[in-house]
């Protein structure tokens, strides 16, 4: 039984580890993209400029209402089609090109993360204590000093639990890219199942690996929250 999971030619351990690596790469690459999009979305939806606000609210509302897998297909097929027609238009004799599933995964999952993060950050900005911002302005801070030294550290504190949940959702959502043929943990598991004919064993293994990642993330996030909340609650 353990033979199945060994690392050499006989077992599937190394294939599954390679898949895990792709999953981790995908999640880690998507995270900054998603957070950046989240900030843009939050700023847009808090903006006083109506078209910008409509854009922000529209993006977060629509994106959060769509199945992630649909977003993934839209990006994968849509951007693929767009790229191909662009290439055709630039040089008609060139063959068709393939849009990398990894890039599609980063864009689609980043857009999803960004929409949810936009809501989390908007809430965090709204939760800021006006008085503390005024105290900064009252000692003559510039607007950018107030933002970087008072607002942002506190927004971070308010947003951390929400962003932490989104990170765990992101980890789980990476499994979707197996459907567009990216060799992540889920897809390598599927390959192993195809050969060994032991679907329950291998899908259970995959579940356990995701579970470990989630629980580890929760532990790290709890430590980060404790750090961010230094001094906020009574000791």
Partner 1 sequence: MTTTDCVLEAIEIRKTFGPFEVLKGVSLEARNHDVISILGSSGSGKSTFLRCLNFLETPTSGSVSLHGQEVEVRNGKPANPRQIEALRRRLGMVFQQFNLWTHRTVLENVMEGPVHVKKEPKAEAREKAEAFLQRVGLAGKTNAYPSQLSGGQQQRVAIARALAMEPDVILFDEPTSALDPELVDEVLKVMQSLAAEGRTMIVVTHEMGFARQVSSETVFLHEGRIVEQGPPDEMFSHPKTEVFERFIAKVK
Partner 2 sequence: MNPMDVIVTYWPRLIDGALMTIRLTLLGAFIAALVSPWLALVRVNTATFIQAPIRVYVSFMRGTPLLAQLFLIFYGSGQFRPELEQWGLWDFFRDPFNCAVLAFALNSTAYQTEILRGGILGVPRGEIEAARAVGMTPIQVLRRVVAPHAYRIAWPALGNEVILLMKASALASIVTVFDLMGRTRQVFSRTFDFSVYLWAALIYLCITATFVLLWRFAERRLSPHLSAADSTAAARLAELEARP
Q: How far is the CB of 27 from partner 1 (least distance, A)?
A: 28
Q: Which is nearer to partner 1, 145 or 196 (CB)?
A: 145
34: three-class secondary structure by DSSP? helix
Closest approach, Cβ 131 to partner 1, in A, equals 4
Half-sphere exposure of 121 (CA within 13 A, CB side): 26
d(C-alpha 158, C-alpha 163), whole Å: 9
Interacting residues with partner 1 between 125 and 184 (CB under 8 A): 129, 131-132, 134-142, 145, 149-150, 153-154, 157
Provide long-range contacts, Cβ within 8 A and 24+ apart, for 147-156. 151/125, 154/124, 154/128, 154/129, 155/121, 155/124, 155/125, 155/128, 156/124, 156/228
Min dist CB 78 to partner 2, Å, is: 6
CA angle 151, 153, 159 (to 5 degrees): 95
Q: Is 195 in the site for partner 1 (CB under 8 A)?
A: no
| Chain contacts with partner 2 (rule: CB under 8 A) | 62, 65-70, 73-74, 77-78, 81, 168, 172-176, 178-179, 186, 190, 193, 197-201, 203-204, 206-207, 210-211, 213-215, 218
**What binding mask, one character per residue, do residues 76-115 give for partner 1 by CB under 8 A, x or -?**
----------------------------------------
Helix pair 152-173, 13-46: axis angle to 10 deg: 140
Q: Which does 132 bind (CB under 5 to 8 A by kind): partner 1, partner 2, none?
A: partner 1
Q: Per the structure block, which two tokens stand in for 210?
A: 């995701």
Site residues for partner 1 per CB under 8 A: 129, 131-132, 134-142, 145, 149-150, 153-154, 157, 230-235
């Amino acid at each position: 039984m353990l033979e199945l999971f060994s690392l050499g030619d006989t077992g599937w351990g190394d294939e599954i580890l390679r898949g895990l690596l792709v999953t981790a790469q995908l999640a880690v690459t998507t995270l900054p993209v998603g957070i950046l999009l989240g900030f843009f979305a939050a700023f847009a939806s808090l903006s006083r400029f109506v078209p910008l606000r409509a854009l922000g609210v529209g993006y977060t509302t629509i994106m959060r209402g769509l199945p992630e897998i649909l977003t993934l297909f839209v990006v994968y097929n849509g951007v693929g089609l767009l790229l191909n027609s662009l290439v055709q238009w630039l040089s008609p004799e060139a063959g068709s090109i393939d849009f990398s599933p990894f890039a599609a995964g980063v864009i689609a999952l980043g857009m999803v993360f960004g929409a949810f993060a936009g809501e989390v950050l908007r809430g965090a900005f709204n939760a800021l204590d006006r008085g503390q911002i005024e105290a900064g302005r009252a000692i003559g801070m510039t607007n950018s000093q107030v933002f970087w030294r008072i607002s942002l550290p506190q927004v971070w504190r308010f947003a951390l639990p929400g962003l932490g949940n989104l990170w765990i959702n992101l980890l789980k959502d990476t499994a979707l890219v197996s459907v567009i043929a990216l060799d992540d943990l889920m897809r390598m598991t599927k390959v192993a199942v195809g050969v060994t004919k032991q679907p329950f064993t291998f899908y259970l293994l995959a579940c356990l690996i995701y579970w470990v990642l989630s629980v580890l993330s929760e532990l790290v996030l709890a430590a980060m929250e404790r750090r961010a909340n230094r001094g906020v609650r009574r000791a």
